[in-house]
Amino acid sequence: MAAKKRKLKLSNKINVNVKDKWERILLDVDKPEVPIEVLERIMIHLIDGTKVNINVMELLAEGTDPEELEERLNDKLEQLDHMILDIDFFVNIDGVAKTIQPETDKILSKL
């Protein structure tokens, strides 16, 4: 007599409360553009060795309009392009999870 195969009931939700999972996901994704609302900070490395740190989360928490901040940053980066060696964008993992989770749940609920 053949043994019965047990079917595992899989949850249709991904547990994204674990920060490590989101970090791994973000490392695997090509990010040509990142919404300013999920940026933690920006570190600008100038050719003379100077580093400029812009705390985006703090500016947004103080009430700066996200669109205005993004526009001002883009304008300033464009003006200083000849002096910039590199730019590091630090993403707020918790902010990404909160932004993406509702959409993830919606998509997976249809499976």
Q: How far is CA 16 from CA 5, 30, 38, 60, in A?
A: 30, 20, 16, 24
- The per-residue pLDDT for 108 is 74
- Indicate the helix (H) or strand (E) that contains 10: none
Query: Do residues 40 and 89 touch, judged by C-beta distance below 8 A?
Result: no
The predicted-structure confidence for 31-90, as pLDDT tens digits, reads as follows 566 788 888 999 999 999 999 999 999 999 999 999 999 999 999 999 999 999 999 888
Q: Identify which has the larger pLDDT, 25 or 60.
A: 60
pLDDT at 12 over 80: no
Neighbours of 17 (CB within 10 A): 10
- The per-residue pLDDT for 29 is 57
Distance CA(90)–CA(37), nearest Å, equals 12
Total count of residues recorded for the chain: 111
Distance CA(13)–CA(108), nearest Å, equals 6
- The per-residue pLDDT for 6 is 44
Least confident span in 3-7, 29-33, 96-100: 3-7
Query: Do residues 66 and 37 touch, judged by C-beta distance below 8 A?
Result: yes
Mean pLDDT of 22-26: 60
